[in-house]
Chain A
Amino acid sequence: MSLGGVLRGLTGADVRFVVIGGVAGVAHGWSRITNDVDVCYDPAPDNRERLAAVLAAWHGYLRGVEPGLPFTIDARTLRDVPVLTLVTDEGDLDVMDRVQGVGEYAAVKAGSETIVIEGVPAPTLSLDALIASKRATGRRRDQQDLIELEALREERRRRGM
């Protein structure tokens, strides 16, 4: 059970994805404690099939929902439900086929950079794109995140990073 385990599992199954959310923020220097991994995946049918197979192998189930509710993870579920918040054998994992404020997978991929995470080179959402997504969601809890991330971006620029 590890962050590296999630990324190795997805990469090993040839799933096309981009790391987004808190993990991406930490990669850029955000001091954030997060317990789940968020990824945006390519919704092409072949990729959906591969991702669904990985999630099923990890016994993915709905996070916070009473156990025992019928739940099928397959490509159709990924097609029908654009965002899945799961608990898996590898930890908490959120998968989605787009990022608000950035766009669909192609735009998310274009706004990413490769960062080595636990020995796995993984496409990771850029800080600018992360800020755009936080601004677009407009949730109360994202307000502080946005202030922190904008300050982080300024500090990185000041340091020439």
Chain B
Amino acid sequence: MTLGRFATAVGARPRWVLNALARLGLPRRYNEPLARRLALARFISEAVQMPLPKAMRLAERTLREVDPQGLWRLEGRGGVALELDLPRFFTTYGANLALALNAYGEKPRGRRPSRRGSAIERARTYGIDLTLFDSALRRTPEERMRLLAENMQVMRRLRGAAR
């Protein structure tokens, strides 16, 4: 996992992740179990204004000992109680993790493609096969969508067969 992907899974900005790992004395090894712990620590820390190191210890204990399907209640001193809705936490965390895995894209590095010339010329220079436009544009939108739907079915069958 890259830092950007990891931060998306945690639900934080990359800068926050770097600061948090430095504060917790953790190496920059971006993996899913750490993302889960850090996301829960952040959730606890922000919910009850708890210092991050303490929230991290609590998060680690919670993930180790508590049924993720239930509510978790921690009685503190002076009648203070912390109640965590773990299914709700996992729902948000899982959604962020899925986003990191499926939709996150790194920012481009280096020189951007030239904007000189017409869009068609730029595409040709980039190496795009423009003959595909011709076959697609000769069809009506309905025909294109029918073809796409058929292709999707084929891909789904192939994916199912590969499992």
One of A10-18, A39-47, A79-87 at the interface = A79-87
A interface residue count range (under 10 / 10 to 19 / 20 to 34 / 35 or more): 35 or more
Give me the 7 closest cross-chain CB pairs, A-B, nearest first.
A139-B105, A151-B123, A31-B132, A150-B119, A62-B98, A70-B87, A64-B101
Interface residues of B in 105-163 (CB under 8 A from A): 105-109, 112-113, 118-120, 122-123, 126, 128, 130, 132-133, 135-137, 141-142, 144-146, 148-149, 151-153, 155-156, 159
> Cα distance A86–B99 when bound, in Å?
9
Q: Are B148 and A151 within 8 A (Cβ)? A: no
Once bound together, how far apart are the Cα atoms of A117 and B143, in whole Å? Answer: 9
Chain A residues near B45 (CB, 8 Å)? Answer: none
Q: Which of A96-151 contact B (CB under 8 A)?
A: 115-118, 137-144, 147-148, 150-151
Q: With the chains together, A159 CA to B130 CA distance in Å?
A: 14
In contact, A94 and B103 (Cβ under 8 angstroms):
yes
Report the nearest A residue to B87, measured CB to CB: A70
Return chain B residues, CB-CB under 8 Å to A84: 95, 98
Q: Which of these, A65, A148, A151, contacts B94 with CB under 8 Å?
A: A65
Q: Shortest beta-carbon distance, A161 to chain B, in Å? A: 7
Majority DSSP secondary structure for residues of A touching B: mixed
Establish whether residues A34 and B148, one from each chain, have CB atoms under 8 Å apart when the complex forms. yes
A interface residues, Cβ below 8 angstroms from B: 1-4, 23, 26-31, 33-35, 62-65, 69-72, 76-77, 80-81, 83-86, 91, 94, 115-118, 137-144, 147-148, 150-156, 159, 161
Query: Which of B96, B106, B126 lies in contact with A139, CB distance below 8 A?
Result: B106
B38, CB-defined interface residue at 8 Å: no
Which of A1, A69, A118, A156 is packed against the most chain B CB atoms within 10 Å?
A69
Residues of A within 8 A of B98 (CB): 62-65, 84-86
- Whether A152 contacts B133 in the complex (CB less than 8 A), given A64-B98, A70-B69, comes out as yes
What is the minimal beta-carbon distance from A18 to any residue of chain B, in angstroms? 15
Given A26-B145, A63-B101, A72-B88, A151–B133 Cβ distance below 8 Å?
yes
Chain B stretch 79-96: residues in CB contact (< 8 A) with chain A: 86-88, 90-92, 94-96
19 A-B pairs with CB atoms under 8 Å apart are: A1-B153, A2-B152, A4-B149, A26-B145, A29-B133, A29-B144, A31-B136, A33-B155, A35-B155, A62-B95, A64-B98, A70-B68, A70-B91, A91-B156, A115-B145, A116-B142, A138-B108, A150-B123, A154-B120
Q: In the complex where A65-B94, A72-B87, A155-B133 touch, is A148 in contact with B156 (Cβ < 8 A)?
A: no
> Chain A's nearest CB lies how many Å from the CB of B145?
4
Residue of A nearest to B122 (CB): A147
Given contacts A64-B102, A83-B95, A153-B119, 17 further A-B contacts (CB under 8 A): A2-B153, A3-B152, A69-B90, A72-B91, A77-B92, A77-B95, A85-B102, A116-B142, A116-B145, A117-B149, A139-B105, A144-B128, A147-B119, A150-B119, A151-B123, A155-B120, A156-B137
